[in-house]
Amino acid sequence: MDVRLESSWKAQLKEEFEKPYFKSLADFVRGEYATKIVYPPPKRIFAALESVPFEKVRVVVLGQDPYHGPGQAHGLCFSVSDGVPKPPSLQNIFKELQSDLGLPIPSNGNLQHWADQGVLLLNATLTVVGGQAGSHQGKGWEAFTDAIVKKLNEQREGLVFLLWGAYAQKKGAHIDRAKHLVLEAPHPSPLSAHNGFFGCKHFSKTDAYLLSKGGKPIAWTKNTPEEIDVREINW
């Protein structure tokens, strides 16, 4: 099956595209988009992979489902499109970011700038029917995204995996802790964030690990000190 995808991922996943489950999944997804309101927009289904080539991945965040409200999902887990109000889980992610690193809470919930720095924002299920959370679970996406995690685990070293919540932790259970840093915490949902997500300090721990491997920290918010253009200073 010819899937249009960023070249490094297409090479890594070519065997998956030929498996019976993926062909069934593709038929199912096409039918859903033809008859229902489905998110994200079709061209954004693989946005997480398109944004970060295989060899550029530095951090992996595992989510579960795309947002199912109008205009929210755009292919990156926990992220919302420009101008869309920040969902509660994302608000809590930003609160922890502020507490951990002292950075201001971003006004925009679009995490594309994370992806641009090598943060793979991967949902386990890549599509969802509008207004119906979990509606495309169990159709094959989980096997596909398991293959992505497996490839990264086996063929890369020194990655950071952020596993927030029991679902992500189960999906990442087989990651080699000797090769990668695996950080686990409760989900940032308002239902569980106070049980250990707040105070987990995953952002500073991620940066410290990346630095220990000779890499750069992630600029988690726009206009953090590393990104400020001195030409913008008018005094």
Distance CA 184, CA 87 (A): 21
Asked whether the beta carbons of 105 and 113 are under 8 A apart, the reply is no
In terms of Cβ atoms closer than 10 Å to its own Cβ (0-12, 13-18, 19+), residue 117 is: middle
170: Cα separation from own chain's centroid: 16
Angle of helix 20-35 relative to helix 141-155, nearest 10 degrees, comes to 130
Phi, psi for residue 6 in degrees, rounded to 5: -50, 140
Query: Is 176 tagged catalytic?
Result: no
Q: Which of the residues 27, 65, 100, 146 is marked catalytic?
A: 65
Residues assigned a catalytic role: 65
